[in-house]
Each structure stands twice: as C-alpha cells, then as structure tokens.
Structure 1
Amino acid sequence: MLDICLLGTGGMMPLPNRWLTSLMLRCNGSSMLIDCGEGTQIAMKEKSWSPKPIDVICFTHYHADHISGLPGMLLSMGNAERTEPLHMVGPKGLRRVVDGLRVVAPELPFEIIYHELSEPLEQIEFGPFVLDAFKVNHKITCYGYRVSIRRLGKFDATRAQASHIPVRCWNRLQHGETVEEDGQIYTPDMVMGAARRGLSVTYCTDTRPTPMITEMATNADLFICEGMYGEYEKLDNAKKYKHMMMVEAARIGAEAKPKEMWFTHYSPSEMKPDIYWDEISKIWPVKFARDGWTKDLVFDEEGEDK
C-alpha cells in the first residue's frame, strides 16, 4: 500500500487556508517528501504524520515556495534525535542551495546525502520507491517526479517443490533474494511468476505543457498536476512565467488517462479554484485538491500486467 498526503496546494505565497506546495508518500515504513514549502510542518502535524522517518526529500526546483520550509524541517528532524542519513534529490546546485539555507541549521545529528540531477530523465531507487525524475519547462531548471512501487509476481509453491527448494528458503526468494543453501543456489525466477502491475504517482508543477509530462503520467494511479490559472486572461502570464493553465493540464490528463487526477499549486488569485469544475470536467474529470487531501493506493488484485 502507498499512503499519500498532499500537504500544501498553494503557489507563490501561503494563504490563511492554503499552505505552499508539498507532497508526502509513505510505503512499508519508508517516507518520501516532494517539495517543502512554507507550512509543510504545520500541515504534517495536522495529519499526525511525523518528519522523523522521512528518508528522502525531493525538490522540483529552488523557488522559495517549494523549499522555504526546509530549514525548520531539518531542525525538527534533528530535535527528534534522528541519526539516520537523509537523502535529498534535486536539480544541479542542490548542495549549494541547501548549504545556504542551513545557515540557520548548521549542526544536524544526521548526514545529508545529495543526488543532483543533470539528465533529462533519471531513475533512482530508495527503499520501496522507484523515482523517475523528468525535466520540465519552467523559467529555471525544474523536474517532475513519477514515484512507483514495484510488485513482484506470484509465488509458485508447486514450482518450488518440483525444484526441491527447501521451505526455509521460500520467504527470502519471495522478497527477491538469491539464496545459497547446502551448496545449491536458488534464484527468485525459479519460483516467481511475471511481475505484476505496481503503483505509481506522478507529480508535476511549475511548467508549460510538454510531451514528457504526458508520457510520465500515462496510466498513473494518481496524477497531481499544477492548475495555476483558470481565467483565460491569465494565459499570457502562464506563458511568460512558464506555468500551466487548468485547461492545458486537463488536456494532458485526457491524453495520459491516469486513474485519478488532482490539481495543485493554485495561484493566490484563485481563491475558489473549483469554480472552473464544469468547464474542466468536460475535458477530463480532474479533482480540485485542497490541503490535507489523502489517498491510500492498494495493489489491484486482478492486475497481472507490468
């Protein structure tokens, strides 16, 4: 299962009922945070989620509304007596930006391990998370992320027995390990069926439409996308500052066909973004997310495809 909480949905500046952008994902005891805008910690406390077990923090880019909550987050993690290393992922310049913000948090009881992105498409694995970072089109270097949870095939006990594999080895083989027992080597492919469809969430903000977004959102279980502006009068602003109109994002959804799609990263001028629901729903059934929206994604028991 993959737990998701959209902690903040605001763009540019926080509002009384809308914190800046941030998404948290949890799976098998591991946690990942994407962006850390102002108010992220408060939003987490409102959901009773803790920052201490966060293993990875990813940044789409380094504008303040996506990273301004980091210094306080690091201090809270340190005050919670965290000692495990923290991984950070972001565009080139990540270490320099974070070191600058750490002027107010110079001493931490844990190591930060930096993963700076430089290619248009990169894949990194952290625990149960498979992270595909893809470059988008903003005024500065910016990435979207597709987070996937792989799912192994079904265990075939009949094959295991036919191959005379000791029962004590079965569990490790089911978890993808190669096992050596009494001079014999047993591999997972000897007892496992074909990989089944896993889970995936695509998260993308601060960009003009690009084909890569459509590709990375295709058939996702959840696609969370910027819905910066609803008014047609803001199209020039969207092009100038390289953001996305709601209708443009909805068209991406119609092409990618995710199982579910949420808008986020609203302009402060969009006090009631869901007033555009009638128009947008004719293109694709997008949901207008609000701070604190959660969703539990579970494996499809019928899905056997990759």
Structure 2
Amino acid sequence: MVDVCLLGTGGMMPLKDRFLTSLYVSYNGKAILVDCGEGTQVAIAKHGLKMSRINLILITHCHADHISGLPGLLLSIGNSSRTEPLDIAAPESSISILENLMTICGGLPYTVRFYGLPEDRQVIFSADMIDPLLKIAVQPLSHRVPCVGYSLIFERKPTFLPQKAKELKVPVEYWKKLHCGEKIILEDGTIIAPEDVTEERKVPLKITYVTDTLPIDDIGVFASDADIFICEGMYGNPEKKASMNEKRHMLMQDACAIAKCAGVKRLWLTHYSPAEKEPSVYEETLREIFADTLVTSDGAKLTL
C-alpha cells in the first residue's frame, strides 16, 4: 500500500490555518517528501507522520515557499538519531542554492546527497533508497525559474501462485526468486520463468505532482492515467487568467482540463493563493469540467 498525505495546500506564504504545499508519501516504512516550505516539519508532526522515515526529498523549484523549511527539517531529522544518508533531487541549477541554504544547518550527523535533474527533458530514475520497484519520472515545467513535476510510479509484483509452482515441481527455496522476477533452472535443466508461476503483472500505481507552472501540453501526457493527480490551482476565478499567465501559474479550471485530457482517476487541487480564503466554494463548478475533483485542505490523506 502507498499512503499519501498532502501536508499543506497554500502557496506564497503560510496562513494560520493553511500550511504551504508539500506532499508526504510513505511506502514500506520509508517516505518521500515533495517540497519543503516554511513550517513543513510542523505540518508533518501535526498530521501524525514521522520525519525519521524520510529517505528522499524531491524539490520542484527554488522559490521560498517550496524550500525555506529545509534547514529546519534536516536539523530535526538529525535530532532523531539518523546516521544513514538522505537524498535530495532537484533541478540541476537549484543544487547550488540548496547547498548554500544548508550552510545554516551546521554539522549534520548524516550525509546529504544531492542529485541534479535535467531541466530541458523528461527523465526517469530508480528510487532504490525507497524501493527497487519505485521509478520517478521528472517533467520540466514552465515557471519563472527552472521547475519540474514528478510522477511516482510504483511497480507491483504479480501474485505468486504456490499451487502452480508445486505442479511444476519447483522447490520452495526458489519461490522468492521467481516472485522477484528471476528465472530459475531446475536440476533436470528445465527453465522456469516468473510468468509460469505468477498471475499477470499488475498495473503500476502512479502519483503525479505538478505545481507552479503554466498549463503546458506536456503535463497531460506526463500525468496520463495517474491514480491521483495533485496539481496547483492558485485561483478559481476565471477573471484571474491573464494574471496567472503573466506569473506562470494555473487556475483551478486549467488543472481540471488537464486532468480530463490525461484520463487520471482523481484530481487533488492545491497551492492556493492566500487571497483564496475558501477555495472549496468552486468545487461544484469544477466538477462540471472533471467529475472526480477535490479542492483539498491540509492533511488530505489517501491510501492506494
């Protein structure tokens, strides 16, 4: 199971009842954090989650509302007796900014490893620090600074069929290898493939996270068939469209149109302007564009 928690839903600055947009995804006892604005560590505690489980931090871009909470978070993780390395991935040109930001941390009891991501093309990398079956796709976006979106793709092992393995006289000690996708050779030379003793491979689970960008066409392809598409919607008032184009952000209606085009299962809106005091008032009209739209609030949770 994959547990998803939207720690905050605000853009620009935190409000007394709204933390800045950040995502916490846990899987098999480890966690991924996407973005870390001011107060993120407080939001993690408020929603009953553990900083100590974070093994990977994904940064979309280096604006303050997405990174200013990083030093405090890293220090708090250090206070949890962590000694193993922690990985941070971000657009290539952001790495020096993040390294400079870390100078206020002093000495940490663990190593922080930075990975720069291309800003001009989509890439996919394996998140082995979380699980070998997890792939992370990275999509360049269109903002005022280099910015990327992320898709977390959780491959799932097919169901193992013990009865089928017994029928093929496969010794029990080989079952784990077959379930992990390896072929085995029996003593008589018979080759047994994983598909001989498993059901068809399950469709991967996919979480797509996009914020701070114009609604470019590439996003629809990138988010295609996502189980959950988490996307910014700064305003719900269509009259703000010209302003959003100038600032290179999206309206809620833009996100809904992308969700419909991409064929996602559900859309969670986030990253609201501080001026949007009650963004949920738009939910009914937004569902006329894309039916499974949720105007989220802080702490929204889902298990996939």
Q: How does 1:135-146 map to 2 (within 5 A)?
A: 135-146=140-151
Alignment pair present for 1:173 and 2:178: yes
Matches within 5 A, 1:34-45: 34-45=34-45
Q: CA deviation at 1:235?
A: 1.3
List aligned pairs for 1:174-213, cutoff 5 A. Answer: 174-177=179-182, 188-213=194-219
> Aligned partner of 1:200: which letter?
K
Identity %: 39
* Matched letter for residue 289 of structure 1: T
- Distance in 1 (alpha carbons) for counterparts of 2:40 and 2:182: 37
Asked whether the equivalents of residues 152 and 206 of structure 2 are also in contact (C-alpha less than 8 Å), the reply is yes
* 1:116 corresponds to: 116
Counterpart of 1:296 in structure 2 is 303
Secondary structure (helix, strand or coil) at the match of 1:123 reads strand
Cα distance per residue 1:176-219 (max 9 Å; x no partner): 35667879786534433431112111110001112221112222
Is 1:134 matched up with 2:139? yes
Indicate if the aligned counterparts of 1:219 and 1:257 stay in contact, CA closer than 8 A.
yes
What is the total number of aligned residue pairs between the two structures?
297
Query: 2:21–2:271: 8 Å Cα contact kept in structure 1?
Result: yes
Say what the alpha-carbon RMSD is for the aligned residues: 1.9
Q: Check 1:46–1:165 CA distance in 2 against 1; reply closer, same or farther (3 A cut).
A: same
* Paired AA for residue 303 in structure 2: D
- Once the two structures are superposed, the pairs formed by residues 174-253 of structure 1 within 5 Å of their partners are 174-177=179-182, 188-253=194-259
Local SS of the residue matching 1:151 = coil
Counterpart CA distance in 2 for 1:18 and 1:166 is: 56
* 288-297 vs 86-95, which moves further: 86-95
| Cα distance in 2, alignment partners of residues 180 and 108 from structure 1 | 48
Query: For 1:146 and 1:183, how far apart are their aligned partners in 2?
Result: 44
Residues of 2 paired with 1:168 and 1:135: CA distance? 45
Sort the Cα spacing of 1:177 and 1:51 in 2 relative to 1 into closer, same or farther, 3 A.
farther
SS at the partner of 1:6? strand
Q: Deviations over 1:50-70 (max 9, x none)?
A: 111111000111111011110
SS at match of 1:220: coil
2:281 — aligned with what? 275
Give, in whole Å, the separation in 2 of the partners of 1:294 and 1:95.
30
SS in structure 2 of the partner of residue 197 of structure 1: coil
What letter corresponds to residue 58 of structure 2 in structure 1?
C
The answer to whether the 8 Å contact 2:93/2:146 transfers is no
The SS at the match of 2:203 is: strand
Q: Secondary structure at 1:96's aligned position in 2?
A: helix
Runs of at least 5 residues in structure 2 that lack an aligned partner in the other structure:
none
SS at match of 1:208: coil
The corresponding residue for 2:162 is 157
Q: Deviations over 1:16-65 (max 9, x none)?
A: 11111100000111210000111111111111211111110001111110
Equivalent residue number for residue 26 of structure 1: 26
SS in 1 for 2:231: strand
Alpha-carbon shift at residue 99 of structure 1 (Å): 1.4
Partner letter of residue 39 of structure 2? G
Residues 150-185 of structure 1 show CA distances to partners (whole Å, capped at 9, x for unaligned) of 112232335433543211221232133566787978
Q: Do the aligned partners of residues 168 and 233 (structure 1) sit closer, same or farther apart at CA in structure 2, a change above 3 Å counting?
A: same
In the alignment, is residue 11 of structure 1 matched against residue 11 of structure 2?
A: yes
- State the distance in 2 between where 1:101 and 1:180 align: 53
Secondary structure of the residue aligned to 1:73 is helix
After superposition, what is the alpha-carbon deviation per residue over 1:277-305, rounded to whole angstroms, capped at 9, x for unaligned?
232121113111011111111xxxxxxxx
Q: Go from structure 1 to structure 2 and tell me whether the alpha carbon gap of 1:112 and 1:232 turns closer, same or farther (over 3 Å shift).
A: same
Report if the CA contact (8 A) 1:94-1:114 is conserved.
Answer: no
Equivalence for 2:2: 2
Matches of 1:52 and 1:73 in 2, distance apart? 10
Give the TM-score, by structure 1 length: 0.91
Q: Which residue identity is paired with 1:124? A: F
Query: Whole-Å Cα distance in 1 between the matches of residues 82 and 181 of structure 2?
Result: 29
Amino acid at match of 1:3: D
